[in-house]
Amino acid sequence: MSKKVKNFLHKFFKIFIIFMLAILVINVIVFVGLYINHRSKCKKEAVYMHAPGEMVNIDGKNIHVLEGGDTEADTTLVFIHDGLVCDDSIALQPLFDELSGYHLVYVDKSGYGFSPSADSDKHIDAMVDDYRKVLQEKGIEGPYVLVASGTGGLDAVYWADTYKDEVQAIIGMDMNYAEQFDSITTDEYTGFFDYLMIQFTKIGGMRLAKSSFPDNIGDVYSDIQMKTRDAIIAERGYTRDMYFENYYTVDNAAAVKELGMPEDIPMYMLMANPLLEPYINDDETAKTTYEEVKAEDGDEEFDYVAAYCSGAKEFYSQYSNITCEEMSGPARLYTYDPKGVSEKISGFIEENIK
The domain limits of the chain are: 3-46, 49-352
Average pLDDT, the chain: 91
User: If pLDDT is split at 50, 70 and 90, which confidence band does 290 have?
Assistant: confident
- Say how far apart CA 254 and CA 178 lie, in whole Å: 7
Q: How confident is the model at residue 2, as a pLDDT?
A: 59
Provide the terminal-to-terminal Cα distance of the chain, rounded to the nearest Å.
Answer: 90
**Overall average pLDDT of the 281-294 stretch:** 87
At residue 196, does pLDDT exceed 80? yes
At residue 3, does pLDDT exceed 80? no
* Poorest-pLDDT segment among 13-27, 97-111, 209-223, 314-328: 13-27
Q: How confident is the model at residue 8, as a pLDDT?
A: 53
SS (H, E, C) 242-264: HHHHHHCHHHHHHHHHHHCCCCC
pTM for the model: 0.91
DSSP state of 124: H
Torsion of CA 68, 69, 73, 75, to 10 degrees: -70
CA angle, corner 225, sides to 223 and 226, nearest 5?
A: 65
Q: How confident is the model at residue 43, as a pLDDT?
A: 92
At residue 211, does pLDDT exceed 90? no
At residue 169, does pLDDT exceed 60? yes
- Other CB atoms within 10 Å distance of the CB of residue 289: 13
**Overall average pLDDT of the 326-346 stretch:** 97
CATH class of the domain comprising 49-352: alpha beta
User: If pLDDT is split at 50, 70 and 90, which confidence band does 344 have?
Assistant: very high
More confident residue, 16 or 245: 245
Q: Give the 3-state secondary structure of residue 327.
A: strand
> Percent of the chain at pLDDT above 90?
75
Q: How confident is the model at residue 236, as a pLDDT?
A: 93
- Say how far apart CA 82 and CA 41 lie, in whole Å: 27
At residue 48, does pLDDT exceed 60? yes
Q: How confident is the model at residue 240, as a pLDDT?
A: 94
pLDDT for 136-150, tens place per residue?
999 999 899 999 999
pLDDT for 235-266, tens place per residue?
999 999 999 999 999 999 999 999 999 999 99
At residue 326, does pLDDT exceed 60? yes
